Chain A
Amino acid sequence: MTAPPLANLINELTKLPGVGGKSASRLAYHILKRPVAEAESLATAILEVKSKIFRCSICNNMTDVEPCAICDDPRRDASIICVVEEAFNIATIEQTRDFRGVFHVLLGALSPLKGVGPQDIDVHGLVRRVQSGNVREVIVATNPNVEGEATALYIAQQLRTLDVKTTRLAFGLPVGGDLEYADQVTMAKALEGRREI
């Protein structure tokens, strides 16, 4: 039988995405073998991320300053907003270095099967940002799967009456795929070839 404290750690690790029972126990035994200092800095890093990181009040990005570094950067063009499902999608767009606008993180995508409706994702915040003026274009960069596509259409409908151009990434990405797995070149092409919806 695995000693209860060790079993406890393994159990906590299996709750992480993509970590199965085998990898969890490998990670747990690894942590156990390393010096105490290493375990302490890992524990501190985890706690710090929870206490110091919050969502930017403008774009919902993960940040430790308010507003986030992107919203606060005067060199960025606040008249172009790129809409993504999750904060980690920002990194995928940023890797192209072609995009100089700002972001809006929805915190998900429409999914009636999971009970996620427009009120559960932040479309409202996006509409408010556009209504407040000075936004020329909204680039919808939700995932090219069924849910991301419906979310893009929904956003386009919400913005239709406002004075703004709404565009969608041109996906050479595999249909049904995930933004997360797009490489730099694919992403740059998707941005460049974006079309109005």
Chain B
Amino acid sequence: MILSRLTPQNFRNLASDEIAFHPTANIVVGRNGQGKTNLLEAIYFLATTKSFRTPRTASIFRFDSPSVFVAGALQRYGVEKTISAALETGETKRRVLMINGEKVTLAAYLNAMSVFAYSAARLEILRGAPEEKRRFLDRGVASVDPAYLEQLTRYTRVLKQRNALLHAISAGREAPSQLNAWDDELTRAAAVLHRARAAYAAEVSKTYAEIVAEHGYHIRDLAIHYRPSLVADLGQTRRAEIRARVSLSGPQRDTIEFTTGGRPAQDVLSGGEQKMVVLFLKFAKLELFRRRFDEPAVFLLDDVDAELDLEILQELLVRLPPKTQVFATSAKERFVRALAAGSHRRLIVENGRVTATEDLA
């Protein structure tokens, strides 16, 4: 699947013009603050209904706009499919997802387009809150196993119900015996997530090492320590949980740590090294996706700067799985030139609008 056209509406500062893309490489240039990253973010939003810069989707709405809408045209084996995602702010927070003009469920929608994004915001994978790290694993698992999202939703629902029950028991509104039913469900749903996350963490680790070795980068021993919070013997922790009014074990408490040389990666690596490590992790995820599906994917590369090893980046891009469609942004002409190895389209962004495009061979 290739993204051939995009129409954003009320998405940050982007104008509501239709933008046409090159099937393999698109390089977005322009001065800082003009909307280069917003364009990549709109593509990411189209594919995932989320932002890659922030967990708070509220910030993607154009100032004062009650809704945001992004539509795109996807090409696959010569067949065109249109998809669109609309989101409302405020209390309604309604989300309408469509494929070829028909409303679809989130799970069906997310299957339409596969996207992988690298940006400086993604350094949170190494140094951010545990949720960020879990999201790194969850998105990865979902990219190779579409059923995972449903399992995650199911677990989250059981957890919410069980926490509500703990609350009601603590307030004396329900009997503790009702917990037995929810304990069984929680334990089963948690085991599914734990297995999937552990398997994926191991695979990403291994693939990272392979890619890094291939490109001769010096941070070779990045280890991913996935520490699942296994569901305790819930009979034993019951009293503590009723007191806490919240489930005290389970995937919502899993932690992930990245180390190199046995020490936390975020403490010993320089800013540039962290960027490279995250970049390699992204390529590892993309590689795992390719092995599983042999399908084209969209790769977003935001803000290429001097801290990235350009030589390696170029090599990585050259060796991308065929038919990967790349979108890259940079503020500096010399980085742009370095990226533009093959045939590509250059899009110049000024004040939220693509003012010029040029195809280069």
Within 8 A of B (CB), among A145-169: 146-147, 149-151, 153-154, 157
Contact B180 A112 (CB under 8 A): no
Task: Please pick, from A115, A153, A176, the residue contacting B154 in the complex, using a CB distance under 8 A.
Answer: A176
A111 at the interface (CB under 8 A from B): yes
B22 beta carbon closer than 8 Å to chain A: no
A193 contacts chain B at the CB level, 8 A cutoff: no
Proximity bits, B277-316, A CB within 8 Å = 1, else 0: 0000000000000000000000000000000000000000
Tell me the interface secondary structure of chain B in the complex: helix
Asked whether, in the complex, the Cβ of A150 is within 8 Å of the Cβ of B154, the reply is no
Q: Is B184 an interface residue (CB 8 A)?
A: yes
Interface contact A115-B178, CB-CB below 8 Å: no
Residues of A within 8 A of B178 (CB): 110, 112, 117-118, 154
Give Cα A154 to B164, complex, Å. 17
B185: Cβ under 8 A from any A Cβ: yes
Kindly state the separation between the CA atoms of A83 and B328 in the bound complex, as whole angstroms: 57
Interface membership of A113, Cβ < 8 A: yes
User: In the complex, are the beta carbons of B157 and A112 less than 8 A apart?
Assistant: no
Instruction: Specify which of A146, A151, A154, A175 lies most central, judged by the most chain B CB atoms within 10 Å of its CB.
Output: A146
Report if B359 contacts A (CB, 8 A): no
How far apart are A145's CB and chain B's nearest CB, in angstroms? Answer: 8
Q: Are B162 and A112 in contact (CB under 8 A)?
A: yes
Give, as a whole number of angstroms, the nearest-CB distance from B169 to chain A: 9
Contact A147:B154 (CB < 8 A) given known A112-B168, A118-B178, A153-B184? no
- From B167, which residue of chain A is reached at the shortest CB distance? A112
Per the 8 Å Cβ criterion, residues 168-200 of B in contact with A are 168, 173-175, 177-178, 180-182, 184-185
Of B154, B167, B177, which contacts A146 at CB under 8 A? B154
Q: Given contacts A146-B154, A176-B150, are A112 and B161 in contact (CB under 8 A)?
A: yes
Assess the A147–B180 pair: CB atoms within 8 A. no
In the assembly, what is the distance between CA of A153 and CA of B186, in Å?
12
Given A117-B168, A175-B154, is A110 in contact with B160 using a C-beta cutoff of 8 Å? no
Which residue of chain A lies nearest to B165 when distances are taken between CB atoms in the complex?
A: A112
Q: Are A153 and B181 in contact (CB under 8 A)?
A: yes
Interface of A: prevailing SS:
helix
B181 in contact with A150 (CB, 8 Å): yes
The CA of A138 and the CA of B73, in the complex, are separated in Å by 52
Whether B158 is near chain A, meaning CB under 8 Å from some CB there, is yes
Q: How many residues of A contact B (CB 8 A)?
A: 17
Chain B residues closer than 8 Å to A110, beta-carbon distance:
178, 181
Instruction: A175 to B185: give the CA distance in the assembly, Å.
Output: 13
Q: How many chain B residues have a CB neighbour from A under 8 Å?
A: 22
Check A153/B180 contact, CB under 8 A, given A117-B174, A175-B150, A176-B154.
yes
For the complex, give the distance between the alpha carbons of A157 and B177 in Å: 10
Contact yes or no, A113 B185, CB < 8 A: no
A21 CB to nearest B CB, Å:
14
Closest-CB distance, B117 to chain A (whole angstroms) = 28
Q: Which of A41-96 contact B (CB under 8 A)?
A: none
Whole-angstrom distance from the CB of A61 to the nearest CB of chain B?
Answer: 25
Task: Give Cα A118–Cα B165 distance, bound, in whole angstroms.
Answer: 12
List B residues 48-94 near A (Cβ within 8 Å): none
Q: Roughly how many angstroms separate A147 CA and B157 CA in the complex, as a whole number?
A: 9
Q: In the bound complex, what is the Cα–Cα distance between A149 and B162 (angstroms)?
A: 13
B154 to A157, Cβ gap below 8 A?
Answer: no
Contact B161 A111 (CB under 8 A): yes
A146 touches B181 (CB 8 A): no
How long is the Cα–Cα vector from A4 to B287 in the complex, in angstroms?
63
Q: Give Cα A110 to B181, complex, Å.
A: 10
Contact B185 A112 (CB under 8 A): no
Q: Give the distance to chain B from A14, nearest Cβ to Cβ, in Å.
A: 16
A157 to B160, CA, bound (A): 22
Contact indicator B174/A149 (Cβ below 8 Å): no
B168, A157: Cβ atoms closer than 8 Å: no
B80 CB → nearest A CB, Å: 28
Question: Which of A113, A115, A117, A118 meets B160, CB within 8 Å?
Answer: A113
A22 CB to closest chain B CB (Å) equals 14
- Report the bound CA distance from A40 to B162 in whole Å: 48
Bound Cα distance A149, B189 (Å): 12
Q: How far in angstroms is the closest Cβ of chain A from B184?
A: 5
Q: Which residues of A from 100 to 152 have beta carbons under 8 Å from B?
A: 110-113, 115, 117-118, 146-147, 149-151
Is the beta-carbon distance between B168 and A154 smaller than 8 angstroms? no
The 10 closest A-B pairs by CB, nearest first: A112-B164, A112-B165, A153-B181, A154-B181, A146-B157, A150-B181, A113-B164, A117-B174, A153-B184, A112-B161
Could you list 15 A-B pairs, sorted by A, with CB under 8 Å? A110-B181, A112-B161, A112-B164, A112-B165, A112-B167, A112-B174, A112-B178, A112-B182, A117-B173, A150-B158, A150-B161, A150-B182, A151-B181, A154-B180, A176-B154
Known contacts A112-B168, A146-B157; 5 further A-B pairs (Cβ under 8 A) = A112-B162, A117-B178, A150-B158, A150-B185, A154-B178
